[in-house]
Copies of this chain bind each other. A is one copy, B any other.
Amino acid sequence: MVCELISVGTELLLGNIVNTNTQFLAEKCALLGLSMYHQVTVGDNKDRLAEVIRAALKRSDIVILCGGLGPTEDDLTKEVCSEVMDFPLVEDAHTKGRLVEYFKNSIYKQITDNNWKQAMVPDGAKVLDNDNGTAPGLILEKYGKSAILLPGPPNELIPMFMNQVYPYLQNLQPEIIRSQMVKICGVGESRVEDMLLDLIDKQTNPTIATYAKTGEVHLRVTAKAASEEEADKLIKPVVKEIKKRFGDSVYSVKEDETLEMAVVKLLKKLELTVTTAESCTGGMLAARLVNVPGVSDVFREGFITYANKSKRKILGVSKSTLKKYGAVSEQTAKEMATGGVFATDADVCIAITGLAGPDGGTDEKPVGLVYIACYLKDNVTVEKYQFKGDRNKIREQSVVKALDLLRRSILDNYR
């Protein structure tokens, strides 16, 4: 089945916002085994919207429209789509009731009349309740085609899609599609592809898709079968083989588990606490750890020592080390990590010092040079990197490598 995405909104045509809905929906549609050949963005204009909807219904089986469902005059998606597909609009008592309830709890006392237009739905359409806003989603079915209308704000669209549209699309499919994520850190994308070349070349079912992230590669293994059990049976040996090839570089096989979550889980399991000593990353590493709810069990404090004097005063890096080797050196990284453990009660300290640029680079120490150290069990491991990219890219890569060094150091020491 062919699916097409239409994003509606003049703000997209003006470049006011990045269209993240399209990426989200496209990934989920691929996961459902739907083919996608076109994604179109059009403004809040009746004629052009109608033309785009007509073209999409002609060439695709499922058309997902995002945006333009709100209460204002600019919001035309429902009206135009109903007209193109010839559905009259009628008031939906259920949606009207939900709106009354919503506004009763609202801080806004004056509910303008245009809000009630959101209770009008195409006669015969499936109504998708919106738990995070006022505009309901809609599914219109005719001529063996489906038009699915979703609200534009991601916090409304994502839960509505996952809870109500995903199961609907799954039901339309003759086969069951299941997938399993494998997340890899510490191996570059082209190396990952090289190491899987034989599997990728002969793949039909399951398939392996690679997604490159900063410092990480995610693999999605997807199988089609008549039942969930059969699909899982197809996936299992492939995931096992990938895990065998990549060993410790696989940090998670869970869809929603981030690298920092995997690290925090590992620390919790071994009852270890960690502290951070950051220079060029300036708090980004600690912030990544604090992304994880419940991190307080393993992370109590961290230090940002940007100036040399702060490295000395807070972490006890020696004056002679800074003078002899400089702030960006293996020796300084080592002393920062050691100092972090001694300044706190933590079992582990991860330290980062580097040149994020754009200025300050030399032939000997170019911009992008970063040292990352991990103190664990009276032992410090230091890694040296030469990153490419701008200031932010260098810092982001440093943080991923630091999280990965922490993870690997623990695995190496507690097994």
Q: CB of A261 within 8 A of chain B?
A: no
Contact check, A30 vs B15: say whether CB atoms are below 8 A apart: yes
Contact check, A24 vs B30: say whether CB atoms are below 8 A apart: no
Minimum CB–CB distance from A154 to chain B (whole Å) comes to: 11
A283 (CB) vs chain B CBs: closest residue: B283
Interface string of A275-308 (1 = CB under 8 A from B): 0101011111111011101111001111111110
Q: How many chain-A residues does the 8 Å CB contact rule pick out?
A: 71
A282 (CB) vs chain B CBs: closest residue: B290
Stoichiometry, as copies per complex, reads 2
Q: CB of A128 within 8 A of chain B?
A: no
Contact check, A37 vs B30: say whether CB atoms are below 8 A apart: no
Contact check, A39 vs B41: say whether CB atoms are below 8 A apart: yes
Contacts of A48 in B (CB 8 A): 37-38
Can you add 20 more A-B contacts, CB < 8 Å, to A15-B30, A293-B356?
A: A14-B26, A14-B36, A14-B209, A15-B28, A18-B18, A18-B20, A19-B22, A280-B290, A282-B286, A282-B302, A283-B285, A286-B304, A287-B287, A290-B395, A296-B306, A300-B307, A300-B310, A301-B310, A302-B306, A310-B344
| Residues on A facing B (Cβ under 8 Å) | 12-20, 22-30, 36-43, 45, 48, 52, 155, 209, 211, 276, 278, 280-287, 289-291, 293-296, 299-307, 309-310, 313-314, 344, 356-359, 389, 391-392, 395
